[in-house]
């Protein structure tokens, strides 16, 4: 079964460049997919289209069989989460705990259940000792762990990692890569990893290469 189906999607920020140019692809539930391409090839734009942060000029995106549009975007945001490159740009809470809770509060998860999930996922990403810390005082790798816990707590079907390890030191990179792998294997989450990391590419089920907004290549790694 396809968890994601993208059909003939176009997107442009301005008159000059077509950032995403007639892109179609599908992703099977439970797959680990890598999205590759040079800087400016449209990877982040495509990721933002998939999570509904941008709206396609034309074409369609279906997530778990539901067409993404204004009436479904809130519902679909529960199914698909994104971790960005810069860990500093994704914090909203004063403490790590607030931050993990934020997505749950937005989804009106009741208090008891919220505490249960915060406890479970903070342990899963090994951040349970840091719950009262200000996210600003954490290392890059720790920040990405918190971001990942916040998304996992919403029980998504799909997580997109948009170069989520590229700003981390080698140790942070290794740890987050392992965490992503564990989440994929143990929680059966479909993963789309936008990456330049050859190890991740080799370990993936499927690879798409974007070039100038178009899918230039796809296949097994």
Count CB neighbours of 84 within 10 A: 20
Question: Whole-number minimum distance, CB 61 to ligand ADP, in Å?
Answer: 16
Give the residue from 3, 6, 102 showing the smallest Cα distance to 45: 6
- Provide the sign of the torsion angle of the four alpha carbons 198, 49, 86, 75, taken in this order: negative
- Of 49, 126, 36, 139, nearest to 87 by C-alpha is 139
Does the protein bind ligand ADP through residue 13 (CB under 6 A)?
yes
> Shortest distance, CB of residue 148 to ligand ADP, whole angstroms?
20
CA distances from 10 to 46, 65, 80, 165 (A): 9, 20, 20, 28
Stretch that binds Mg ion, among 41-49, 100-108, 202-210, 211-219 (CB under 5 A): 41-49
17 binds ligand ADP (CB under 6 A): yes
44 binds Mg ion (CB under 5 A): yes
Quick one: what does residue 42 bind among Mg ion, ligand ADP, none, with the CB cut-off 5 to 8 Å set by partner type? Answer: ligand ADP
Does 42 sit near ligand ADP (CB under 6 A)?
A: yes
Q: Out of 23, 32, 43, 195, point to the residue binding ligand ADP (CB under 6 A).
A: 43
Q: Near ligand ADP by CB under 6 A, which window of 32-40, 59-67, 115-123, 173-181?
A: 32-40
Give 47: exposed, middle or buried? Use CB within 10 Å, 0-12, 13-18, 19+. buried
Q: Does 40 engage in binding with ligand ADP (CB under 6 A)? A: yes
Distance CA 44, CA 67 (A): 20
* Closer residue to ligand ADP, CB minimum distance, 33 or 146: 33
Is 164 a binding residue for ligand ADP by CB under 6 A? The answer is no
| Interacting residue ranges for Mg ion, rule: CB under 5 A | 43-44
| Interacting residue ranges for ligand ADP, rule: CB under 6 A | 13-14, 17, 19, 37, 39-45
């Amino acid at each position: 079964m396809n968890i994601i189906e993208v059909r003939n999607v176009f997107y442009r920020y301005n008159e000059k460049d077509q950032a995403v140019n007639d892109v179609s692809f599908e992703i099977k539930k439970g797959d680990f997919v890598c999205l590759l391409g040079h800087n400016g090839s449209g990877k982040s734009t495509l990721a933002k289209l998939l999570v509904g942060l941008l709206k396609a000029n034309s074409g369609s995106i279906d997530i778990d069989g539901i067409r993404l549009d204004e009436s479904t975007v809130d519902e679909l945001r529960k199914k698909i989460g994104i971790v960005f490159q810069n860990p500093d740009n994704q914090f909203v809470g004063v403490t790590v705990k607030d931050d993990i809770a934020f997505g749950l509060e937005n989804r009106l998860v009741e208090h008891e259940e919220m505490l249960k999930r915060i406890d479970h996922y903070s342990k899963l990403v090994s951040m349970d000792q840091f719950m009262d810390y200000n996210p600003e005082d954490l290392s890059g790798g720790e920040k990405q762990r918190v971001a990942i816990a916040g998304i996992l707590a919403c029980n998504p079907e799909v997580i997109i990692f948009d170069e989520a390890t590229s700003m981390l030191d080698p140790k942070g990179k290794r740890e987050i890569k392992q965490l992503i792998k564990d989440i994929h294997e143990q929680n059966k989450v479909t993963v789309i990893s936008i990456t330049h990391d050859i190890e991740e590419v080799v370990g993936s089920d499927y690879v798409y290469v974007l070039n100038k907004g178009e899918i230039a290549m796809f296949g097994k790694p």
